[in-house]
Amino acid sequence: MNDDTKANPPAGTQDRTGDFFGARPAVDASAARSISDISTSRPPGADAAVVLADGEVFWGQGAGAPGMSVGEVCFNTALTGYQETLTDPSYAGQLITFTFPHIGNVGTNPEDLETKTPAARGCILRESITEPANWRSAKHLNDWLKSMWLTAVTGIDTRRLTRRIRDGGAPIGALVFNPGGIPDIEAAQKEAAAWPGLEGMDLAKDVTCAETYSWNQTEWALDGGFGKLTDPKFHVVAVDFGAKHNILRCLASSGCKVTVVPATASAKDVLSHEPDGVFLSNGPGDPAATGKYAVPMLKGVMEAGIPIFGICLGHQILALALGASTHKMHMGHRGANQPVKDLKTGKVEITSQNHGFVVDADTLPAGVTATHVSLFDGSLEGLSVDGKPIFSVQYHPEASPGPQDSHYLFDRFVGLMESST
């Protein structure tokens, strides 16, 4: 906060620029209304809303950047890591509903970023943004949202909205925030109804790097922050479909010099760097759309016989290259508490996930083995190619946020490179 007046305003007041401090007027956010009832349903103090494409309206109060944003409405069940979540490129095209009510309690800082520019289109919160109380906090979440041009709607009954997503699937919606005024609900509904949805969208091109670059930053430590790899054992080319920074840090912490190439790189481009292994990153959008150029690249790389490790979208692209198919899920898996079973060992890992598409397990060809399954719905969570150093998982072993039960997969990748040299 810049001054004592803003830090301690009279109870019940609100700054209509979007900053809310102290108590806020109660908004009956649990009430969803149709467009025809807008004139009579807007609660006092409501200057923002979540508007679904079918006309359902959830009134609330705005935070972050004023305006309107459209995307697929999803929900995330993680209790921590909202900044990493908002900057995860896999959330491109999505409006994130946080089911945990206390968002903002650790503020924001320049280290907990998974990419420089958020790809998510906005967020939906139950409570007012919580005042930060953490030694690493450098900026209030509301100020950070403004600086990133992200719109938020607070005061929403996120339980009701989550049930709506659970029962009816992930809808298209719009966030609209008009500080001190009345949001244009009709315009928001029209924008949402006109948005085509994520099926058929190649969003990897929107979030990938513009050119090839090197990465040597290692994972964060309490006593020294981020480190730097000085003596790499292996060279990995990471295909950036929307790579989170912590994935690259995990590779570097495992002793790998990392060369990051754009999603549109050809097999010739990838192999020209003479890698010991190839990593296929996470990313947003429909894998079938991205696969139109990524699958030919990957088939060429597989012919070289070097180890390959894919996660999230990279897992789906690998499955497509092997001859399997993918489809859009009803509501997806998003959160840091997703149980996955290793079919070989019988062990259960609690994982971090964010995906709305999945590989059809029934379409895996001969010679490709399912290695992991979700204990929530039985969907495929991992595969390997028989007799070859190629494997992938649907979830995020790098976490950030989330548990590190699956961190061993980076060691497995390194082990394959050791065996191949």
- Identify the burial level of 200 via C-beta atoms within 10 angstroms of its C-beta, where 0-12 means exposed, 13-18 middle and 19 or more buried: exposed
d(CA 248, CA 219): 9
* Catalytic pick among 74, 123, 256, 312: 312
The DSSP element (H or E) to which 253 belongs, if any, is: helix 245-253
* Nearest partner of 282 among 306, 317, 250, judged by Cα: 317
d(CA 317, CA 336): 23
- Residue 191 catalytic? no
**Count of positions (residues) in the chain:** 421
Residue 35, number of CB atoms within 10 A of its CB: 17
**Which amino acid is present at 121?**
R
The DSSP element (H or E) to which 385 belongs, if any, is: strand 380-385
- Residue 250 catalytic? no
**Alpha helices per DSSP H over 100-244:** 141-147, 158-168, 185-194, 204-207
Return the SS3 of 218: strand
* Catalytic pick among 140, 333, 355, 396: 396
- Residue 56 catalytic? no
Max Cα-Cα span within the chain: 71
* Catalytic pick among 72, 114, 349, 398: 398
Assess contact for 368 and 324: CB atoms under 8 A: yes
Residue 230, number of CB atoms within 10 A of its CB: 7
Return the SS3 of 114: coil
**Annotated catalytic sites, by residue?**
312, 396, 398
